[in-house]
Amino acid sequence: MATRVALKFMRECSLFRKVKFNDNSRHYFCTAASNGAAIGLLIGGGAYASTVDEATFCGWLFSATKLVNPFFAFLDPEVAHRLAVSAAARGWVPIEKRPDPPILELEVWGRRFSNPIGLSAGFDKNAEAVEGLLGLGFGFVEVGSVTPVPQEGNPKPRIFRLRKEGAIINRCGFNSEGIVAVAKRLGAQHGKRKLETSSSSSLTEEEVVHGGKAGPGILGVNLGKNKTSEDVAADYVQGVHTLSQYADYLVINISSPNTPGLRQLQGRKQLKDLVKKVQAARDEMQWGEEGPPPLLVKIAPDLSKQDLEDIAAVALALRVDGLIISNTTIQRPDPVSKNPVAAETGGLSGKPLFNLSTNILKDMYILTKWRGRVHKKIRAGATLVQLYTAFAYGGPALIPMIKAELAECLERDGYKSIYEAIGADCR
Cite the active site residues: 256
CA distances from 227 to 20, 120, 338 (A): 28, 21, 32
Q: Alpha helices, DSSP H only, in 13-53?
A: 14-18
C-alpha gyration radius of the chain: 20
Contact 32, 388 (CB under 8 A): yes
Contact 4, 92 (CB under 8 A): no
307-340 core/surface letters (b: 16 or more CB in 10 A; e: else): bbebbbebbbebebbbbbbbbbbeebeeebeebe
Give the angle 415-29-282 at the CA atoms, nearest 5°.
Answer: 130
Peptide bond before 326: cis, by omega within 30 degrees of 0? yes
Query: Phi/psi zone of residue 224: left (φ > 0), alpha (ψ -120 to 50 degrees), beta?
Result: beta
**CB-CB neighbours of 283 under 10 Å:** 12
Q: Rounded to an integer, what is the distance from CA 316 to the centroid of its chain?
A: 24
Contact 224, 127 (CB under 8 A): no
Strand pairing class (218-223; 27-31): unpaired
For residues 241, 245, 247, 248, the Cα torsion angle rounded to the nearest 10 degrees is 120
Residue 27 to residue 278: CA distance in whole angstroms: 19
Amino acid at 48: Y
Contact 291, 248 (CB under 8 A): no
User: What is the residue-wise DSSP string for 150-192?
Assistant: -B--SPSP-EEEEGGGTEEEE-----B--HHHHHHHHHHHHHH
Provide φ and ψ at 209, rounded to 5°: -70, -30
